[in-house]
Structures are given as structure tokens and as C-alpha cells.
Chain A
Amino acid sequence: MKNFSVEMLVQEANNQRKSISEIVMEQESADSGKTHEELLQRMLKSLNVMEEAIKEGMNPNLRSASGLSGGNTFKLSQAIEQGTIKSNMFSKAMVRALAVSELNACMGRIVAAPTAGSAGILPAVLFTAKEEYDVSDEILAKALFTAGGIGIIIAEQASISGAEGGCQAECGSATGMAAAALVEILGGTPEMSAHACAIALKNAMGLVCDPVAGLVEVPCVKRNVSGTVNAFAAANLALAGIKSAIPVDEVIKAMGTVGRQMPRELKETAEGGIAITPTAKKIQSCQS
């Protein structure tokens, strides 16, 4: 996958009349010496961990060591059950994103995708698609190769680390990866996946990493929810044939530049943004 661009992935997919996931799997197979079947089985294992994490995150008694996270997934799903919030694709996707992110904050088992702090977005998007459109786990696992392939390109051309590129690099990347994966699941073309990714990344451009008390909780957990909704929005726009005016590879490069331009205070140091508000400082002093 080294030195690939998203455009190259799309072109390769079009030339071979294949999906992006198949091109990524071919590359991965060539790099690792593993067969397609081995790769798929390994990804199904990760997919299974994601599904388990959604279930475990529903536990109403979950609390993080800091006390900042836990219990909100239950609150949200109760509100849906009681009709306070309409039960639909979005509200259910939000529950799943919250579940995995809260579980992560509470030291549960998750799949970093691409990071632990952004681990809720891909599971939420995939398993909501599974329920709404009745797709198989195999299709979801393949879509994770699309997400992963694009993730590699983002990691190489920009960053997937909050310390290097701010939250746009973590929740932003996850959103772009999820949008592209969702388009493929729903039968969109490789170009549409690329546009969905570009739109999602643009929506997250400049997002800073300002964790309260330096912990992966506030604002990270709720950003997984908004990232999930962003992924659906971007995928839907792309599936309707709406294009990103700026090609995805240029967006990724711009994201890398923005990350470098961002002051260090806003890159996971907890020295800027909401992390230095009076309330955040009070929370921090209770942690040490």
C-alpha cells in the first residue's frame, strides 16, 4: 500500500472492474504473503470485537476510572426506547458510537480504528448499515479493507495521531474512512467512496485535540457520535452523486498541512482548547 493515493485506488478499481476493498486486499496480500481468505478471516475477527464492544458498551453500570465517562449510552438508548428521541437509523447509530467510545474510556476491549480515541465511529457506521440494509458480516469486513486502505493513505500523507495532527487526524480520519466504507457497502462506485471520504474529511478539517485532564474522554467520546453522523451525511451526499469540489487526495494533503500549522497546545497536550477552561482545570486537579 506504500505510495498509493486514493485516486490511484479508484483508478485501479475501475481498470480491473473491482471494488476498492478488493484492490486493498490484493495489495495487502502481496505485501504480507497472506491469502485473501486469511485476510478476510482476520478482519472478521476484528469485526467481531467491534460487535461485542457495542453490546458491552450498553452496560448501564460502566464507569471510567476518572468518573467522567459511562452511563450515557444507556441514557440515550432509554430515551429512544421511551420515545423521547425518535428511533431511526441516526439515533441507533449514535447509540452504537457512544457504546464503543464509553467502553473504551472504561478500559473495555475495542479495535483501534484508526485509534482508540476514535474507535466508535467505524463500528457504529458498519453495524447500523448491517441492521438497516441487511448486509452480511463478510461485506462489512471487506468494507473495513476500504477503510483501512484509505487510513493508510491518510497516515502517510497527513496523520492519524492527535499528537501530530489534532482530532481531525483521529475522529476526522475515522469519519472519512467510515464514509468511504459505507458507500461501498451501499453499492456506490469507487469514485463515490472517494467523494464521501473527501466530504467527511472537509467537515472535520481543523478539529483540535484538547482532552480534558489529558484523558481520552472529554470531548473524545461525544466526538465519536458526531463523527458517525458526519460519516452518514457524507456517504449520503456522495451516493446521490454529489461531488466534493476538491479531490480527496488534495483534501488529505491540506489536512496534513493544517495539522502541522496547528499549535502544539491544540495537539493532545491538554494545554489548549476546552482542556484549559476553569471547569477542566478543576476536573484535572481531582485526577492527580
Chain B
Amino acid sequence: MNVFDIIGPIMVGPSSSHTAGAARIGKVARTILGEEPIEAIIDMHGSFAKTYKGHGTDKALLAGLMGFEVDDARIRNSLELAKQKGIKFIFNTVEMGNVHPNTARINVTGESGRKVCVQGASIGGGNIVITEIDGIEVEFTGNLHTLIVCHKDTPGIIASVTNILATAKVNIAYMKVYRTLKGGDAIMVIEADQSIVEENINCIKNISDVSSVAIVTPLNEGW
């Protein structure tokens, strides 16, 4: 924990968990989508479902999807801004069962027709955990430089990705791989200490059997 975790974040109110955290979940979904969204179906569970109107949780989730940061004053008007941009959106209040009380699930379609489904929880103070991508259970906070690689579960992919990072002198702090079934869809989540530059991301995209690559940059970069 550092001083700027306490004196911060700079954010649009009223609630770090229900507004700032929600915006961050939306932003991660947007990053994973990797393009302008045109349609979103957003499910809210628990306390999100109960208090979203008063906390602007819906506005924050959508603002994040449009790429707004947690301190962007436009969060307040995000529903109108989305309509102006022609983005279709639906909010549902749902019961997801045994998940964190501040959980949202975002089904988003991009302008190319690409679809992703991202589920995350806002766990306090603007901190979040992403818990699912396209139905695959994952776990990362977005506090470090996070590389999300969607790929086929084939031998050598992990080595190919980590080799690129090693050459770029990027230190891996945490890493996890998840798969649906042997040889099926898989996701690699790498949390790194250094930023990962465009050139390296492109190299990773070019690895065969890699279908998409996204990078989530840390929240505390208000420098």
C-alpha cells in the first residue's frame, strides 16, 4: 500500500467500490474487446443490483466500456453519451449466486462483430478482481501491467510468450494459465512489473494459435 492508495484515487463519486470500481471493470472489458463497443448487455448482482441507481454504477460500467478513466467527469452523463454514439445497452439486475456482492458481467460486441464476456467484482477502495473471461474462470486485479492472451491449448505457446517478455526485459510478477478443456480455448494472464510495449504485443499476436491479446495498465498511473 502506498500514500496514493490512501490519498486517492482521484475519482468521480460517490463510491469507490460502486462507482470507481465499476468504471474499472468496464474499462477492462473494453480493453479486452480491443475496439469500439456497439452493443452491451450488462448484468449487475448483489449490492450493485440494489444500489446502482444512487451510486451511478450503471453509468460507471458503461463509461468504462467507452474507455473513460475513473476520474472522467463524463461518467455522470455516460448513458446519454453512449446513446449519442449509437451504442445499444441493456442493464439487468440478476442473482448470480455465490459471488462477491459487487459483481458485474458485461457481454459486449465491438464494431467488427467481435464479442467478449467479462465478469468482475469491485472489492473496495476502487480495487477490482476480474473473475471470468468468456466463461473461463480467471483471477487478476489490474494493479500491475496485465497481459491477457487468448489462445488454443497447444504446446509451446507459454514459452513463446514468455520468451518475448524475457527479451524485452519485462519481469513477470504473477502468471496463470486457464483452459476450458485439453486442446481447447485457453487464456494466459501475465501480471508484469514493467509496461509491455506495442512492438512486443504485436509479436505475441503473431504467434500461431494466439487469437487475441489485451493489455490492462494499472490504475495508479495518475502521474
Residue A254 at the B interface, CB < 8 A? no
The listed residue (B13, B19, B222) touching A45 by CB distance below 8 A is: B222
CB < 8 Å neighbour of A287 from B12, B13, B53: B53
Q: Which of A24, A45, A117, A288 has a CB less than 8 Å from the CB of B3?
A: A24
Within 8 A of B (CB), among A107-125: 107-117, 119, 122
The CA of A287 and the CA of B52, in the complex, are separated in Å by 10
Assuming A107-B13, A113-B6, A214-B47, what are 8 further A-B pairs, CB within 8 angstroms? A28-B3, A64-B14, A108-B12, A109-B11, A112-B16, A116-B14, A151-B6, A287-B51
Given contacts A28-B3, A112-B8, A155-B1, contact A104 B223 (CB under 8 A): no
- Report which of A2, A104, A109, A117 forms a contact with B73, defined as CB distance below 8 A: A109
B7 touches A113 (CB 8 A): yes
CA distance A113 to B16 in the complex (A): 11
Chain B binder among A9-17, A141-149, A234-242 = A141-149
Are A155 and B11 neighbours in the complex by a CB distance under 8 Å? Answer: no
Name B92-133 residues within 8 Å CB distance of A. 124-126
Q: List A residues at the B interface (Cβ < 8 Å).
A: 1-2, 24, 28, 31-32, 38-39, 42-43, 45-46, 49, 64-66, 68, 103-117, 119, 122, 144-145, 147-149, 151-152, 155-156, 160-161, 163, 177, 213-217, 287-288
- Bound complex: CA A42 to CA B4 (Å): 9
B: residues with CB less than 8 A from A are 1-16, 18-20, 47, 50-51, 53-56, 59, 71, 73, 75-76, 124-126, 222-223
Q: CB-nearest residue of chain B relative to A154?
A: B6
Assembled-state Cα–Cα distance A119/B59 (Å): 21
Inside 8 A of A42's CB, which chain B residues have their CB?
Answer: 4, 222-223
